[in-house]
Structure 1
C-alpha cells in the first residue's frame, strides 16, 4: 500500500515510498525500457531498500482514484507510475532523478511530477539551484528538463557504459530565481 500523500498536481500525486512498494520499484528497474536510458544496474529486492537511501527524498508517483485519501490509501485506489528522487539536498546542490513506466511515456506525467518536486525542493531547502543529469541519447528526459527551464551546464564525456556503448552525461541546472520567474 503506497504511503502518505506529500503533494498533488492536476493528475498525479506524490506519495512516500514504503516497503510495500519495493516490488514495483524492482519490476520497473528490471524493465529494459527504463533501465537502459537510466544506466541503472539490475537490483534484487534486498538491494532496493527504501530505508537505506540516506540523504535522498524519494517520491512514488501515483495516479489516485477519487477515493484515495491523504494517508495510506487502499491498493485499489492508486496506480503507481514512477518515481522521482532528490539526492544530496541537505548538504550540496540537490540532484533530481526520475523514471516512469513506459505506458505513461509522452503523457505529460513526468513534466507534472518533476515540476512538483522542483517546487518541493525550493520550498523545503535553502538552495539556490537544483540539478539533474540525462544521457545524451535520452531525448525524452532532456526535453522534459528543458521544458521546465533547466539549462545545460556541462557534459561528462563517456560517463557510463549504457546499452552497449559509453554515453555522455549532460548536466542541467535550474536556479531558484529562474523557477520563480517562470511561475
Structure 2
C-alpha cells in the first residue's frame, strides 16, 4: 500500500514514492503507452529501477509523488528543477511539471486532478512564480490537460522529438502564478 498522503485532490491523493512502490513504477515505465509519450526509450530492469529511485525520485530539490485513487497507484506527478539548472531555478522561482497515468486509468480525470494539485502546491506552498511543461506535439491528451489548467503555449522546438518512427515538435507550455486560478 502506498505511503502517507502528501497532497489531496478531489479524486486522487499524491503520496511520496517509497521503495516498495518501485514495482508499480517499473511496470508502468515499461508500458509502451507510458514510455513512448514520455520519450523514455530504455527498458527498466530491477537494477535501473533502484538507480532511478535513488538518483531521480528521491532528490532533495524535486517533488515526485505517486498518484493514487482509493489507495491504488495509478500514476506519477513531479515538480522538478527547470531545464536551466538549480541556480537559475531558485533565482527565477520556477519548476517543471511532468506526469503520467497508466493506460487503464487514463481518461478518468486523474491526471488533471494530480497536475492541478501539484500546480496549486507550486504556487501556494512553494511560492513559485512559474511552472513549465514540455509535451510532444503528438501528445494531444497532455496538451489538452495543460491548456485546461491555464497553461499557455510559449514555444516550439521544431522536429526535436523522435516518436514512433517520426520527428515531432517539442512544445513548451508555461503558467505564471499571476495567470493561475486556484479554483481550476
TM-score, normalising length from structure 2? Answer: 0.86
3-state SS in 2 of match to 1:113: helix
3-state SS in 1 of match to 2:150: coil
Q: Please state if 1:57 is matched with 2:63.
A: yes
Matches within 5 A, 1:95-174: 95-174=96-175
3-state SS in 1 of match to 2:131: strand
Q: Is the 8 A contact 1:39 1:163 kept in 2?
A: no
Deviations 1:42-100 (A, max 9, x none): 22222233232233210100012xxxxxxxxxxxxx21100001110664120011000
Q: How many equivalent residue pairs?
A: 170
3-state SS in 2 of match to 1:24: helix
3-state SS in 1 of match to 2:143: helix
Deviations 1:92-121 (A, max 9, x none): 120011000111211111111100000111
Q: Which residue of 2 aligns with 1:94?
A: 95
Q: Is the 8 A contact 2:16 2:64 kept in 1?
A: yes
> C-alpha distance in 2, partners of 1:9/1:153?
27
> C-alpha distance in 1, partners of 2:5/2:173?
28
Q: Is the 8 A contact 2:63 2:79 kept in 1?
A: yes
Q: Which residue of 1 aligns with 2:73?
A: 80
Distance change in 2, residues 1:7/1:181 (3 Å): closer
Q: Which residue of 1 aligns with 2:180?
A: 179
TM-score, normalising length from structure 1? Answer: 0.86
Q: CA RMSD in A?
A: 1.7
Which structure 1 segments of 5+ residues have no match? 65-77
Q: Is the 8 A contact 1:7 1:116 kept in 2?
A: yes
Divergent runs of 4+, >4 A: none
Q: Is the 8 A contact 2:2 2:72 kept in 1?
A: no
Distance change in 2, residues 1:23/1:181 (3 Å): closer
Q: Is the 8 A contact 1:7 1:15 kept in 2?
A: yes
> C-alpha distance in 2, partners of 1:139/1:38?
13
Distance change in 2, residues 1:182/1:174 (3 Å): farther
